[in-house]
Homo-oligomer: A and B are copies of this chain.
Amino acid sequence: MSASTPTLDLSRSSVELTADMCNIESVSGNETSLADAIEQALSGCAHLEITRDGDAIVAKTSLGRAQRVIIAGHIDTVPVNNNLPVSYREEDGAEWLWGRGTVDMKAGVAVALKLAAELSAPAYDVTWIFYDHEEVESAKNGLGRLAVKYPELLVGDFAILGEPSNSTVEGGCNGTLRVEVRTHGVRAHSARAWMGENAIHKLAPALTALAHYQPATVTVDGLDYREGLSAVGVTGGVAGNVIPDAAALTVNYRFAPDKSVAQALTHVQDVFAGYEVVVTDSAEGARPGLTSAIATGFVAAVGHEPQPKYGWTDVSRFSALGIPAVNFGPGNPSLAHTDDERVLTSQIVECEHALRSWLSQG
């Protein structure tokens, strides 16, 4: 740890701590200073056993409790865009903290860090995870790396991921499948179009299918998952006077967690029957994880009706490990990554109270 490591004062309020953590810039790939500060802040806690791997930190209790909870959050952010340092602003009588990371997801991480230090005898054993590289390609993801290198640290009965969810429980997540719908033709000079075969024209039925598509809403374990099937890209064309011999439509299917990637692909192949469909990217969804007693107890402690999570998050990594997992953190997910990213400070307090109460009483 270098002499220049910034320090975090965990006696400050969770709102102040959020601001302090946001002001330690940690765009993906640049998490070391913040990881150092977190490690240093927790190093004096006798109830925690700390593991550091790269810029990920795992701090776990070993109190011999009957059940173990994993509480995780990533410490990196998307790039700053003139929105640091943070500032407090009042809007409609409510206080907001503005700046990069306030929503995604240093508020959730600040709450976790404060409680990790303060709750020396929680009702469940807790594995606190602070990890790097969530906002970039999946291969770099710190949680994924820990799961491979330290599988023993990723054991638990329930997991809470502090991703923004307006401090309500958002269960599971939709899966995502990206495909290219490709067409082929024959080049010709556009002055003699009849000599060729236009690959772009062949996309017409595919686009019509998309334009008329009625996405389903699927109920899984009591939560309603809204699906979507969307063109996210289209390319084709050789030159202004050439009939194109190739075109491609990129389609993203966000599917409810009642389906596997394979089942989602079958559906997409049905929609684009007769086309060449090539998978370019996919990730399984995650069921809500709300059926266990421990999850039910957590939902009751939070006191809000659980909601489905539409976006893909790392809860599905827990899901894949067989650990029921939910999203629970301050901030409106629609404000994540935006230039006007901001969190209601009352949601930070609310999140802290709910987690503290549940972890204290079980």
Contacts and interface: CB of A to CB of B under 8 A. Distances in A.
Q: Give chain A's interface secondary structure class.
A: mixed
A94 interface: no
Interface in A213-230: 215, 226, 228-230
B202 A254 contact: no
A202 B249 CA distance: 13
Interface string A249-293: 110101000000000000000000000000011000000000000
A194 B237 contact: no
A147 interface: no
A254 B190 contact: yes
A205 B211 CA distance: 9
Interface size of A as a range: 35 or more
A196 to B, nearest CB: 8
Contacts of A232: 190, 200, 237-244
A159 B280 CA distance: 56
Contacts of A198: 210, 230-231
Interface string A187-211: 0011111110010111111011011
A55 to B, nearest CB: 24
Nearest to A174: B191
Contact of A207 (B189, B207, B239, B334): B207
Contacts of A249: 200
A194 to B, nearest CB: 7
A312 interface: yes
Given A234-B235, A237-B232, A247-B234, A254 B211 contact: no
A128 interface: no
Contacts of A205: 211
Contacts of A191: 174, 176, 228, 254, 310-312
Nearest to A234: B236
Given A194-B215, A234-B247, 17 more contacts: A178-B240, A190-B232, A191-B228, A191-B310, A191-B311, A191-B312, A193-B254, A198-B231, A200-B210, A200-B249, A201-B211, A231-B237, A232-B242, A233-B237, A235-B237, A240-B281, A241-B252
14 contacts: A176-B191, A191-B310, A194-B226, A200-B233, A201-B207, A201-B230, A203-B207, A204-B211, A230-B243, A232-B242, A232-B244, A234-B237, A234-B247, A240-B252
- Which 4 pairs show the lowest CB-CB distances between chains A and B? A233-B237, A193-B228, A200-B231, A204-B207
